[in-house]
Structure 1
Amino acid sequence: MDIFTLLANGTPELLNGLRVTVLVTVGGCVLTLLISFLLGLAAGAHNLAIRGVARVVIEFFRGTSLVVQLFWFVYAMPLIFQVKFDSKIAIGILVLGLNYGAYGSEIVRGAIAAVPKAQWEACVALNFTTWQKLRLVVIPQAWVEMIPPFGNLGIQVLKGSALVSLIGLVDLTAAAQRLRSHASAADAVIIFAVLLVVYFVMSYLLASGMRWLERRGKAGLGQGPPDKPTFTQGGLKASEVAG
């Protein structure tokens, strides 16, 4: 069987694997963002108990293997705690969110801590509540600084999604591996080259989306790129003519 026939016959399985990969990646990214803010805000809290619990959770999920966490949720928790998940996709999303959310919490904590002290003092002068400080002043400024590292983290979630094949999910990587088992060594190179291209395209789209968000965020804070100079017939900028 030639490689083109093999790819044509395997297209439905590859598309289904792509669907699983996209679903796990999008769900993992959303959960990563939520957990990053939850743990990041808790890690910077004034209350010692809240801060301590957050640090323990962060270090636990950062310090243990993603593969071990996947196996723990699939095999260990049903035996020890009688907790069983009906969907392995849900397990994949949950573990990716917890693992990468622990890394993302440091992004949130660092960006919030980088907001100038004068901004916090202004909030106190205006008698803002803690929620008002975060929603109206702190997070809008800190969010712009979070976007680039969150873009990198999103790509890590995409690449980490390939590990869900270890718990029985047929994602894009697992589908390609199944297809490779029916191919020759030379055809396997083509199959995995296609796989590389697909992952690259998804990563590029994710990175482009985050760059767009960054531009929008900076524009909202008045930090957008300078306007292109406009010249009149005499060679002066429009702003100079207006002046």
Structure 2
Amino acid sequence: MFDNTAHFVSVIAGGLVVTLQATVGGILLATVLSVVAGLAMLSRITVVRVITRTYVEIWRGTSEVVQLFWIYFVLPVLTGFQLLPLWAGIVVLGLNFGAYGAEIVRGAVQSVPREQYEGCVALNFTPWQRMRRVILPQALVEMVPPFNNLFIQLLKGTALLTFITVPEMTHQASVILVPSFTGEVAQIFTITLLFYLVLSIVITLVMRAVERWAAAKVGRTPRKRDVALGKGGGVA
């Protein structure tokens, strides 16, 4: 049994790098789209708000699996351009979670007290100076906890890439399962769960460090429940 366990861990770990690539790529794309779309939804220009809202509602309101199939199978038929499986997965993860993140950014910016805006106007700051020097640093503190949850969801979403044969951890677990070890399905997928749990904890630790840094930049102290890992329900 020990030999089998070592074999299972080795094969599943073989998909770890691909899972990390999909997660990091998806997080980077989702973060950029979140900030751009979140701020665009606050634009005074109606066309910009409508276009951004359309993007957000389409990607939040449709199935992630269908989105993946559409980008990987339908887009090449329409355009003749075929994305590599991993890149198709990263694009879908980024677009999907970027739509959710846009609402986080919008809400965090709107949560900054109105007096801060008025103070910026009194100091004759340009709109860019207001956002960069006053509004976004304060909003960032509010964004980090929900982005922590979002990034963990994105990590778990990488398992969907097995549908387009990306050799990430879930795909590797399935490869082991069929046909040789169908009687050890519990062990195989328990090991896979533990891999995802460890990665989720790593994301949480990084985001808690970012939260403390962001809070210190604006002279705040994060609440204890936001700092202590595991308090109030474990990984966020």
TM-score, with structure 1 as normaliser: 0.87
Q: Using the alignment, how far apart are the partners of 2:206 and 2:187 within structure 1?
A: 29
Q: Which residue of 2 aligns with 1:69?
A: 67
Q: Which residue of 1 aligns with 2:32?
A: 34
* SS of 2:15 mapped into structure 1: helix
Give the letter aligned to residue 59 of structure 1.
Answer: E
Q: Which runs of 5+ in 1 are unaligned?
A: 227-243
Q: Give 1:105 shift.
A: 0.3
Q: Which residue of 1 aligns with 2:115?
A: 118
For the 8 Å contact 2:211–2:222, the answer to whether it is kept is: no
Q: Give 1:159 shift.
A: 0.5
Q: Which residue of 2 aligns with 1:56?
A: 54
Q: Give 1:7 shift.
A: 3.8
Q: Per-residue displacement from partner, 1:189-218 (whole Å, max 9, x unpaired)?
A: 111111111111111111111111111211
Q: Give 1:225 shift.
A: 6.1
Q: Given the alignment, which residue of 178, 200, 204 partners 2:175? A: 178
Q: Per-residue displacement from partner, 1:74-132 (whole Å, max 9, x unpaired)?
A: 110111122322x2111111100000100010000000011111111111122222211
Give the letter aligned to residue 108 of structure 1.
Answer: V
Q: Which residue of 1 aligns with 2:234?
A: none
Q: Using the alignment, how far apart are the partners of 1:225 and 1:61 within structure 2?
A: 32
Alignment of 1:218-229 (within 5 A): 218-224=215-221
Alignment of 1:204-215 (within 5 A): 204-215=201-212
Q: Which residue of 1 aligns with 2:95?
A: 98
Q: Give 1:169 shift.
A: 0.6
Q: Given the alignment, which residue of 22, 42, 48 partners 2:20? A: 22
Q: Which residue of 2 aligns with 1:142?
A: 139
Q: Using the alignment, how far apart are the partners of 1:115 and 1:58 within structure 2?
A: 22
| Structure-2 change in CA distance of 1:48 and 1:184 (3 Å) | closer
Q: Which residue of 2 aligns with 1:232?
A: none
Q: Give 1:157 shift.
A: 0.2
- Report % sequence identity: 43
TM-score, with structure 2 as normaliser: 0.89
Matched, 1:130 2:127: yes
Q: Using the alignment, how far apart are the partners of 2:31 and 2:116 within structure 1?
A: 24
Q: Per-residue displacement from partner, 1:164-198 (whole Å, max 9, x unpaired)?
A: 0101111101101111222142x221111111111
Q: Which residue of 2 aligns with 1:166?
A: 163
Q: Give 1:133 shift.
A: 1.1
Q: Give 1:12 shift.
A: 4.7
Give the letter aligned to residue 56 of structure 1.
Answer: T
Q: Given the alignment, which residue of 199, 202, 206 partners 1:202? A: 199
Q: Using the alignment, how far apart are the partners of 1:225 and 1:204 within structure 2?
A: 19
Q: Using the alignment, how far apart are the partners of 1:225 and 1:31 within structure 2?
A: 27
| Structure-2 change in CA distance of 1:184 and 1:80 (3 Å) | closer
Q: Using the alignment, how far apart are the partners of 2:23 and 2:136 within structure 1?
A: 25
Give the letter aligned to residue 212 of structure 1.
Answer: A
CA RMSD between the two structures: 1.5
Q: Given the alignment, which residue of 10, 13, 29 partners 2:11? A: 13
